Amino acid sequence: MFKIGDKVVYPMHGAGIIEAIEEKEVLGETRQYYILRLPVGDMKVMIPIATCKEVGLREVIDDDGVERVFGILRDKSTNMSENWNKRYRANLEKIKSGNIYEVAEVVRNLINRDREKGLSSGERKMLENARQILISELVLATEMAEDNAKTMVESAFA
């Protein structure tokens, strides 16, 4: 169980800080919820404590994890399907997994593909979403400003 002040990652939304633990009635059922504030995008999310494991709520990566992320970003891209639909579904599964290293792969692969062949509008939106998730976790893991995290991610591709 997490506590107030913990830095956690909510797959598909990104990293945030647990601001409160509240009991709320939703659809006639009273449950306890983590109230998560996502600093990137300034959004609040309620996550039922009973289902936080199933949705993949986890702690933010440590310094070694940050180094590993930047290693992935600097690495060559992995083979992706030439079929847009297969590629899109594979990338979506990686983002949904909540695994920051898989999200970093998606960011790296899509940025490299964009440079080589360009991206469809769907893949461009996916890249922005994956980049936002990645940056939100880096901001909390390193306690740096969002702009600095964006710059560091971009410089990994220079």
CATH code of residue 137: 1.20.58.1290
Q: Is the pTM of this model over 0.95?
A: no
- The segments of the chain whose pLDDT lies below 50 read none
Q: Kindly report the CA angle at 67 between 133 and 129, in degrees rounded to 5?
A: 15
Q: Are residues 52 and 71 in the same domain?
A: no
Q: Are residues 112 and 131 in the same domain?
A: yes
Share of the chain above pLDDT 90, in %: 82
Residue 150 has a pLDDT of 93
Q: Which two tokens stand for residue 127?
A: 């890249």
Q: Are residues 75 and 121 in the same domain?
A: yes
Structural domain tally of the chain? Answer: 2
The parent domain of residue 68 ranges over 63-155
Q: Are residues 144 and 78 in the same domain?
A: yes
Residue 151 has a pLDDT of 94
Residues 12-52 have pLDDT tens digits of 889 999 999 999 998 899 999 999 999 877 789 999 999 99
Residue 116 has a pLDDT of 87
Beta bridge partners of 26: 29
H helical segments located in 75-157? 84-97, 100-116, 121-142, 146-155
Total length of the chain: 158
Task: Count Cβ atoms within 10 A of the Cβ of residue 135 and give its class: 0-12 exposed, 13-18 middle, 19 or more buried.
Answer: buried
